[in-house]
Amino acid sequence: MYHAVAHSPARATHGLSVAPGAFAEQMALLAERGYTPVTCERLGVAWRGGPPLPPRPVLITFDDGYEGVHRHALPVLDRYSFPATLFVATGWLRGPYETGGALDLMLCWEQVRELAGAGVEIGGHSHTHPQLDQLPPERLWFELVRCREILTKELGGPPGSFAYPYGYSSRRVRQAVRSAGFQISLAVGNALAAPHQGPYALRRVTVRRSTRIEEFERLVEGRAIGRTFAKDRALTKSYALIRRSRQVLRKVH
């Protein structure tokens, strides 16, 4: 799971950004080790009984829709003929649907279409990038449907995949994503994806600016993931308790 790819990212995205040189090095490692990138749609088809996945499959995903995906990541992906999946928050992208709130320079719609034409799958990431599990039903439905409507209009077909903003979801959110027409959805979880997680709660591994190539190789191979993200998981559990308490308070009031 990538976010921004930039030499000098904004402070808000710095930790989750990746330097262009590091991204190129990571993609070179995937090629050298014989990994075969696939799109989320391809994964979903395979795990629903379609044609099997190729040897050593891996997903390369980008969240939010930062401009560096087009400027820096696309040439590297083209070099290796690697497909990838980009999840865009439609209200964050530059253009007629812009709502504000973006954390850094975002893609424009022309760039999104160029990415799609180059083999990058474009998935949904909500409209304004809220914490979906904290929203009332009407607002949740708006975030999903508005995102899907805009992508369908701009790209000529509905998106099949979705990623939860911040990685947060709940049974209610997952059911809504399915009802909105998405066939597969990704969380974070910092673990390898597996069929038993179900098509609407697949996990991903975070790649950060601090991720060195040795650590990247271990993560891709599934080695020492638990140890690498132990602190993240502890913080996630603590924050989950806080967020559940907020939901209870909202219901009371």
Q: What is the mean pLDDT of residues 30-49?
A: 97
Average pLDDT, the chain: 92
If residue 140 lies in a helix (H) or strand (E), which one and from where to where? helix 137-155
Return the pLDDT at 183.
97
Query: What whole-number distance in Å separates Cα of residue 52 and Cα of residue 55?
Result: 9
Which residues have C-beta within 8 Å of that of residue 10, sequence separation ≥ 6?
4, 103, 104, 105
Among 5, 31, 7, which residue's Cα sits nearest to residue 17? 5
Choice between 209 and 242, residue whose per-residue pLDDT is larger: 209
Instruction: Return the pLDDT at 155.
Output: 98
Q: Does pLDDT of 237 surpass 80?
A: no
Tell which wins on pLDDT, 61 or 236. Answer: 61
Given a cut of 60, is residue 247 above it in pLDDT?
A: no
Q: State how far the Cα of 232 lies from the Cα of 229, in Å rounded to an integer.
A: 5
In the predicted structure, residue 40 carries a pLDDT above the cut 60: yes
Q: Which of 53-62, 121-130, 218-227 has the lowest average pLDDT?
A: 218-227
List, for residues 181-216, the tens digit of each pLDDT value: 999 999 999 999 999 999 999 999 999 999 999 999
What is the distance between the alpha carbons of residues 45 and 52, in angstroms, rounded to a whole number? 9
**Encoded tokens for 11:** 């402070």
pLDDT at res. 227:
73
For the stretch 220-233, pLDDT in tens is: 998 878 777 756 64
Q: Residues 4-26: pLDDT tens digits?
A: 999 999 999 999 999 999 999 99
Other Cβ atoms less than 10 A from the Cβ of 156: the count is 9
What letter does residue 18 receive in the DSSP assignment? B
Q: What's the predicted TM-score (pTM) here?
A: 0.91
Per-residue pLDDT at 97? 98
Q: What does the pLDDT average to over 229-245?
A: 50
Class of residue 152 by CB neighbours under 10 A (exposed 0-12, middle 13-18, buried 19+): middle
CATH number assigned to the domain with residue range 11-223, chosen from the 4 options 3.40.50.2000, 2.130.10.10, 3.20.20.370, 1.25.40.20: 3.20.20.370
pLDDT of residue 6: 98
More confident position, 244 or 196: 196
pLDDT of res. 165: 98
Mean pLDDT of the 95-101 span:
97
HEC secondary structure over 173-192 = HHHHHHHCCCCEEEEEECCC
Domain ranges of the chain: 11-223
